[in-house]
Amino acid sequence: MSIGRSLKTLALGCTLAAVAGCQTSPPPPVVVPAAFTPLGTTAPYLLGDVIGGQKARAAKMRAAKIRPLTAYEVPAYMAEVGAELRRQTAGIGLDVLNVGGGIVIRIPATFTFDPGSATVKATTDATLLEIARTVKTRNRTFVDVIAHTDTSGSPQTNAALSEKRAAAVATYLAGHGVTKARIASRGLGEAAPLYNPEADETQKAANRRIEIRLVPYRTF
């Protein structure tokens, strides 16, 4: 047998082995993301202006001597922030989502507050500390803290409770190095559920969440 024919035979054998390997070892299934999907990333409150409006917030950032991003800098800067947050919170169970030109960190109920309480508990403390470590160093972003409740109780009670919870998280971040001029908070109560209606306790728990939205502070 000639050398050329031997090489062709060997190549054919390798190809068949590779095909057989693909047939017997299918790729692993795609992992379905955590439960924060029904509302997706298209909710108006996530895509709208920062809390309090960019003009007023930018004035506070300038007073704090924080330098804005240019339009050219924004994409790379936000990509780095997202990657760093995902590394920092890996294994904790948070969702770090790209929303528009910003980033939303969704913290599920298991890491937030006890029912009816606006006091930061131990599990929340540990989670927020990891987030604060990144957010405080990446200071060229606005920080919006948004709190939600499930539909238990009255809308008025839930709105008030969510305001307290959002303020508590904002205070925590400020106390752990995030510049106050960057932060604003808002409670949305039960107005923006991930699950509507809530079919079970798991869905109610998913609706009770904190979201930290990072929006680039940029020149226009």
Domain limits of the chain? 33-216
**pLDDT exceeds cutoff 60 at 8:** no
Per-residue pLDDT tens for 152-183?
889 999 999 999 999 999 999 999 999 999 99
**pLDDT exceeds cutoff 90 at 18:** no
The two tokens of residue 166 are 């959002």
According to the model, what pLDDT value does residue 158 have? 94
CATH class of residue range 33-216? alpha beta
Per-residue pLDDT tens for 63-119?
999 999 999 999 999 999 999 999 988 888 788 999 988 999 998 877 788 878 888
According to the model, what pLDDT value does residue 50 have? 96
Cα separation of 119 and 89, whole Å? 22
